[in-house]
Structure 1
Amino acid sequence: MIIYGTGAKKFGVKRLKGIKCENCESNEMHITGYSKYVHIFWIPLFPVSKKIFTICGNCEEELPKKHIPKRTLERIKLEKSGFKIPFYLFSGSAIIIALISWGMYSIDAHDKEVAYNMANPEPKDVLVFKNDDETYYFGEVQEVKNDTLQLNFCNYVYEGGTPSEYSYEKEKNKVGDFYNRKIFYISQRDIDSLYNAGDIYDLYRKTND
């Protein structure tokens, strides 16, 4: 469940020297800055408004703008520019931008790695082939010789959406005859062509720990 809503945050208080309260004639007049913001999971996402109020520190009378004397309004205009919305009210947006940037970087890095590995296949690589009906099947490289790959294809079709390396390992471990023992030969040129056409979706390569 996503919890979202709006909130208000006081981000500044400043005394108005030389200005008296119209209600109690005290010299304790202040201006206070508030910002209304949108939050998600109580993390400020972005501010939506900024308001400046005048309030008396003695009687706590808050004057509406139409009742504020002209001289006080001029002082408020001068002081208002000093009230800056704090950056932390944008923290949610900053987190989202950082996550999107990280995700795009990760996808780009993964795509470059797959492209390199596809052009330089090794034994035990697993090629993920995509069918026209959005199902997938796997081919495990047994040997690479003279620009020709020797593959064992799987006996099963993956229908659980887009496969990940984790889901592949999970399905493989369910059965003992996941791969057919028959060897198929395919040239590197054909591999490149299938990959460029999108018929090979991914390549899994085990790294040595």
Structure 2
Amino acid sequence: MSVNIDVHRNQGDLLREYIDVTVIGGGQPGLAAAHTLLCRGLRPVALEASDRTAGSWPRYYDSLTLFSPARYSSLPGLPFPGVDRDRYPHRDEAVASLTAHADRLNTEVRTGCRVSAVRRDDGAFAVEPGEGGRLSARAGVAASGAFGRPHRPALPGLEEFTGQLLHAVGYRSPAPLTGRRAVVIGAGNSAVRIAAELAQTARVTLATVGR
């Protein structure tokens, strides 16, 4: 895809690209932001840390489905595919939809590009991808999620705990825990759905702060 990008060397003889808007993240929020920017006549470049234009969706657990029906799960400019608008789409359907949306956008999405820093620089934003180089943009959008840096609380007794400690980020299927005792901590969507799935083959307790 062609994007209007100026490339030249600055006084420090470093190759730098000058672009309109940098969007950090190529998942749902990044693609939606890029579409909105395009509609306003801007030329964004999206930078995605993973190797695909679907954000973190390909790495979610195997049985995950969307939390809202297909009719309410569309991205700007692209209705969610499928005839049954009341179904709850599977993870792989979401990945396919996001990939198709990225392919249809008239903008560049660079994969494998993890941003290490964003700094003010002479009236613009200097964006530094982790593998070197530099982009200079007059505006930037932070559209990355927390999946790549999950919160692991320092719970008392973890040093002495001899069982397996697994974050939801690392959960894929109930098979490794079949027949075992499991405590799922939390009451959000992921916690409840994982607990319900585990309960089919394991002894499960759901631990929450409130009822």
Q: Same fold (TM over 0.5)?
A: no
Taking CA–CA contacts closer than 8 Å with sequence separation of 6 or more, which of the two structures ends up with the larger relative contact order?
Answer: 2
* TM-score band, normalised by shorter chain: under 0.3
Q: Which has the larger strand fraction?
A: 1
Q: Higher Cα Rg: structure 1 or 2?
A: 1
Q: Which has the larger helix fraction?
A: 1
